[in-house]
Amino acid sequence: MGNGYVIQLRDVDGDAQINWQTLVCADVSGRKQPDWLKKGNIIFSARGSRNFASLVPDTDLPVVCSPHFFIIDLKGREDVLPEFLAWQLNQAPLQKYFQQAAEGSVHVSIRKAVLGQAPIAIPPIDKQKIIVELADRVLKEKKALEKLIELRRLEVDAIAKNILK
């Protein structure tokens, strides 16, 4: 048993949501105390063909992320919500920017400087809150529809099994 959990690329779904149930418990040690992730940190996948940002929610778990991620900490920035920045980094204009700036032919990656120079728009906080609420609603609707589709598939499978007895 280890002293902390590690977020790896495989622990983040297609909607950039961290699947906390799949985290591996590991011995997180080194020459210095680990930089545990905190509420409001954003982890950005810098390696691979899919570059996404995930918000770290409030958690009681001691968690770090694999070296495939950059950690964005907005402490001292009162003008931007972490959830808004994570949302913006996942949107098409910035995804196109990252694709164009990616380096490497076999192992594609984004340099930290490229992430730091990303063309970010920072509207007023009230607009950021509205955008984040809308994005949350869209995600909840998507999850509900996916669940409905899965239930319908199971229903059709049950009908087929009953008919083919």
> Computed over its alpha carbons, how large is the radius of gyration of the chain?
19
Helices 125-163 & 82-89 angle (0-180, nearest 10): 60
pLDDT of residue 143: 94
pLDDT tens per residue across span 86-139: 999 999 999 999 988 888 877 888 899 999 989 999 999 999 999 999 999 999
The pLDDT confidence band at residue 64, using thresholds 50, 70 and 90, is very high
| pTM of structure | 0.86
Give me the phi and psi of 70, to 5 degrees please: -95, 145
The pLDDT confidence band at residue 16, using thresholds 50, 70 and 90, is very high
Is the per-residue pLDDT at 17 higher than 80?
Answer: yes
Is the per-residue pLDDT at 31 higher than 80?
Answer: no
pLDDT of residue 33: 81
CA distance 25 to 6: 7
- Could you tell me what percent of the chain has a pLDDT over 90? 64
Which two three-digit tokens encode residue 112?
């930290």
Is the per-residue pLDDT at 49 higher than 90?
Answer: no
pLDDT tens per residue across span 150-162: 999 999 999 999 9
